[in-house]
Amino acid sequence: MGSIADNMGVVTRRIQKATMAANRPADSVRLLAVSKRKPPEDLRAAAAAGQKAFGENYLQEAVEKMDALADLPDLEWHFIGPIQSNKTRDIAARFDWVHSVDRLKIARRLSDQRPDSLPPLNICLQVNVDNEDTKSGVALADIPALADAVLELPGLNLRGLMAIPDPDQPEASLRQSFRALADMLGRLRQAHPDAKGLDTLSMGMSGDLEIAIAEGATLVRVGTALFGARENPQQT
């Protein structure tokens, strides 16, 4: 693999190519650089190459990096890992986005604990789109009711849906999972035409971002292709 700056160029071109191939407007897909288990220097290198949005899975690790990079203006921090109730206060105070909201209790806490001095927290509902028992996320069928409730919470801006389909499944079923997520976002937009958010499909990673973009992703979450393999790839 090349330098982080080189990798940024490669990934950016992959995104552009997939966006064009799908006949979608240029700039309709954002890159979230997933920096879990990577040191602050790596994020600094990506930021020097123009990257603003970073995704982190572990609160403590993320906060240490935020503090180490406090001199960099305008970074945008996205929490994408599982959320424990006792972590919501710090997540609500330190992050701009949370992609992994999968129950109303957590949504309520994030809304209540979002500081008044900050704009509403951008969130996505995490969908268990493969219906795997072991994975976190809400079943697709339960999304409309959860979205109705979350849209009432003043501290949150419901931006859309996120999923992590098993990347090792056959391409056709992966595509089906992405499509199901896109269809659900369309349903929510129809049910809530006046909602301010509902503009985000957070789907696609290093290995499958082209398929996700073809199916409507507006934000791809890319770690390995930017920063190289992580030490313990079995863990998310």
Ligand X SMILES: *Cc1c(COP(=O)(O)O)cnc(C)c1O
Shortest distance, position 193 Cβ to ligand X, whole Å:
29
The candidate with the shortest Cα–Cα distance to 208, out of 168, 161, 149, 157, is: 168
Query: What DSSP element (H or E) covers 55?
Result: strand 53-56
Q: How many CB atoms lie within 10 A of CB 23?
A: 7
- By the 8 A CB rule, do 182 and 175 touch? no
* DSSP label at residue 85: G
Cα dihedral 215/218/219/222 (nearest 10): 40
Q: Which of 155, 160, 197, 223 binds ligand X (CB under 6 A)?
A: 223
* Per-residue contact string for residues 61-100; x = within reach of ligand X by CB under 6 A: -------------------x--------------------
> Interacting stretch for ligand X, rule CB under 6 A, among 89-97, 103-111, 189-197, 222-230?
222-230
CB of 71 to ligand X, least distance (A): 26
Of 6-14, 71-79, 172-180, 201-209, the window that binds ligand X (rule: CB under 6 A) is 201-209
Helix, strand, or coil (residue 158):
strand
Q: Is 57 in the site for ligand X (CB under 6 A)?
A: yes
19: phi then psi, degrees, rounded to nearest 5: -65, -45
Nearest approach, Cβ of residue 231 and ligand X (Å): 12
Q: Is 114 in the site for ligand X (CB under 6 A)?
A: no
Q: Which residues bind ligand X (CB under 6 A)?
A: 34, 36, 57, 80, 164, 205-207, 221-225, 236
